[in-house]
Each structure stands twice: as C-alpha cells, then as structure tokens.
Amino acid sequence: MAKNSTQNKSASHPDHGYGKTLEALQIELVKFQKHLIAKGDRILILLEGRDSAGKDGTIKRVIEHLSPRDTRVVALNKPSTRDESEWYFQRYVPYLPAAAEFVLFNRSWYNRAGVEWVMGFCTEAQYEEFMETVPTFEQMLVRSGIQLFKYYLDIDKAEQKQRLKDRLTNPLKQWKMSPIDAAAQKHWKDYSTARNAMFARTHTPTAPWTIVRANDKKQARLNLIMDLLTRLDYKDKDHALLCPDPDVVFNYTHDAVEQGRVAA
C-alpha cells in the first residue's frame, strides 16, 4: 500500500450518506448524554492536531444536538502574564468537567508539547517539566473519575497548504488566520518531530492517544464519533452503527509512525 494512501479524499471514501450517518451518530450522542446526566459521570475530550486539521468542524458536529447546559467547549487564548507565572496546568483546571458534564478542549495543555516548543514560547526546562509530569497529571484526573479521551487529527502537508490557502480567500474563514498559521508550513518538519515526541512520551495505558486521519474531513468526523461511542457505556446503543474504519482511526503505536500511517 502506498504511503498515506488512505489519506486520500472522497476518491477512496465516497461520502454518500454522510448526512444520514452523521444524524444517526448524533442521535447516539444524545442517548449517551442522557445516560451521562443520569449517572453524573464526567467526560473530557482533548482534540489536538496541526493548524487547519479540522478540530473546529469536528467539535461542531459532536455538540450540535447536545444539551448546551451540560456541554462545554474550551478554547483558551494565549496565556497572560499572570498565567505564565502559575503552575502550568493551573489555567486548565477550572475548566475540567463536573458531574454530568461533557467537556471538549479545542487544543489543550498539549500546546506546550507542540506550538510552544516549536515556536520557542517555552524554555527547554519548561518543556521537559511538562513532558515528565503530564502523565502523572492525567493519571490523577482519571483516578478522580474523569473519563479522558485524547484524539489527534492528522493531515498531510499538501492538505494543510490547501486549507490554509482557503482560509485566506474565504471571507467566512479569515478569522481563523493567525501568525502561527502562517508559520505552519515553514515549520512542518519541526511540528512532526514535536508530535512524535509527544506521542512517545505521553501515550500511556491510563491516557492513550487515538489518531484520526483527517484529510477527508467528513470521514474523520464520522469515525471519531464512532470510535468515541464504542468506548462509552449507555443504554440502547446501536452497535451495528458503530463500525469505525481502522484505516482512519486507530490507537497510537511507534510502528504507526514508522510505517507512515501518520503524516511525516
């Protein structure tokens, strides 16, 4: 199989029935949320990925029909001077889920392992401190009862280039552009190296990484939702619907990187 061949767009994954399948999956999400509210559980989802990987669009489809009172999306701005003086995880803790809450982080504390490290916004000591302590931090969250899911949306360099170009020309997307976006292609290899180190050092049995191949946005959304629902317990689950494609969504392994299943 050619490297990254399953990253092709609709030619390999026709989106016939996308809307119908998405609606069915959103019904499953509503079923789950009813169960979540009744049980008082706590769900935390981290969505990471390169600039333009599709995090916003994926989150939009996940939460579209969920209860706004019990669902929160967290997308923090760059840290303030006060934030920078605090314990690194401190600014994220207030946004963690309480009982019956479904919380999604659009980027998370993993900024330190990615954009902050690549762009020189943190020191080597700060980076190492993060990489050494984040597994313990996440273990504490899970031991406290939070169900934690970490997803990385993966796109290739050509796809990112096209999406960033679209942002410049589409007046409805220009708010997404930032100086960090402008440097994304220039630092492509640096981000790849940082991502691989992040996977290797922060993929743990307690808080594993799940990779979603996201060149095809629609297939990425469907498969991420399917994968998430397979991991959740709730009444009246439609098991026949939940068949994620293992070529699109899969657990991180070192071999997945070495074999080119993740964009180089």
What's phi and psi for 134, nearest 5 deg? -60, -35
**Which residues, in sequence order, are CB contacts of 208 under 8 Å at separation 6+?**
150, 251, 252
Query: In sequence order, which ranges of 79-156 are alpha helices (DSSP H)?
Result: 81-85, 115-118, 124-143
Q: How far apart are CA 178 and CA 44, in angstroms?
A: 27
Would you state the pLDDT for residue 14?
52
> What DSSP state is assigned to residue 77?
-
Rg, the chain, Cα only: 18
pLDDT in tens, the chain (264 residues): 444 444 444 334 455 699 999 999 999 999 999 999 999 999 999 999 999 999 999 999 999 999 999 999 999 999 999 999 999 999 999 999 999 999 999 999 999 999 999 999 999 999 999 999 999 999 999 999 999 999 999 999 999 999 999 988 888 776 666 777 778 999 999 999 999 999 999 999 999 999 999 999 999 999 999 999 999 999 999 999 999 999 999 999 999 999 999 999
pLDDT at residue 1, as a whole number: 40
The torsion region of residue 54 among left (phi > 0), alpha (psi -120 to 50) and beta comes to left
Burial label for 179, CB within 10 Å (0-12, 13-18, 19+), is exposed
The alpha carbon of 74 is separated from its chain's Cα centroid by a whole number of angstroms, namely 12
**CB burial readout 124-156, b (16+ within 10 A) else e:** eeebeebbeebbeebeebeeeebbbbbbbbbbb
Residue 58 tokens, joined: 């994926």
Say if residues 55 and 153 touch (Cβ distance below 8 Å): yes
Reported residue count of the chain is 264
pLDDT, position 4: 47
pLDDT at 209: 98
- Residue 77 confidence (pLDDT): 93
Phi and psi angles of residue 205, each rounded to the nearest 5 degrees, phi first: -60, -35
Which two structure tokens, joined as six digits, stand for 97?
């889920």
User: pTM of this prediction?
Assistant: 0.92
* Bridge partners, residue 258, by sequence: none
